[in-house]
A and B are shown apart, each in its own frame.
Chain A
Amino acid sequence: DAGITQSPRHKVTETGTPVTLRCHQTENHRYMYWYRQDPGHGLRLIHYSYGVKDTDKGEVSDGYSVSRSKTEDFLLTLESATSSQTSVYFCAISEPYGGFTDTQYFGPGTRLTVL
């Protein structure tokens, strides 16, 4: 998985609790992305980062926040989890500059269940 780890891999939580998912990369890639995957919807972008402390919203950002204080780590936070946020979350990385391509490489995913 191109030097990408996600933690935790599985989590069960209750409605209203805060949850933080972590993506860690060892590739020194500039861009990092958070997606959610739900049946019938493919993968939808939540937030992305184009550098340390530089983040922006994707198509389904409501209820989520992100932070990136180091190149290697991108955190996704659900401030108050809801059942509609039950999903599989994937992190991806890319480095479109310096002779690299804009290919995105995906991590193994985190399965989150909100009861």
Chain B
Amino acid sequence: GENVEQHPSTLSVQEGDSAVIKCTYSDSASNYFPWYKQELGKGPQLIIDIRSNVGEKKDQRIAVTLNKTAKHFSLHITETQPEDSAVYFCAASRNPRSSYKLIFGSGTRLLVRP
């Protein structure tokens, strides 16, 4: 079945530095790739997503890139701040054939050191 691998599992950066989290997916028909941020004790919240017809998308300090040939996509956070510290999850789905079901990576715990 579909599988999404996420690396690294933990990431520690100095405030102001950039952070990159990478995911690979197995189903070449996947066409929707969201990224979620989860703070302690809360539910995941969507921070950015990308579809298979787009190679890159930016939203202020956050960007996502997609390489369909290599079947991987990445989250880039620039000028990191302490409030960026959280667990980040990538996910993939092939809509609408999969009934919009998401397959999640195992998560990356990001720590931004002041």
Q: Which residues of A contact B (CB under 8 A)?
A: 1, 4, 31, 33, 40-45, 48, 50, 56, 58-59, 90, 94, 96, 102-109
Contact = CB atoms under 8 A, between A and B. Distances in A.
Nearest to B100: A102
Interface stretch (B56-64, B78-86, B103-111): B103-111
12 contacts: A42-B89, A43-B89, A45-B101, A45-B102, A45-B103, A50-B99, A94-B100, A102-B32, A102-B100, A103-B34, A106-B43, A108-B42
B43 A109 contact: yes
A21 to B, nearest CB: 14
Contacts, number: 57
Given A48-B99, A96-B96, A41 B46 contact: no
B1 interface: yes
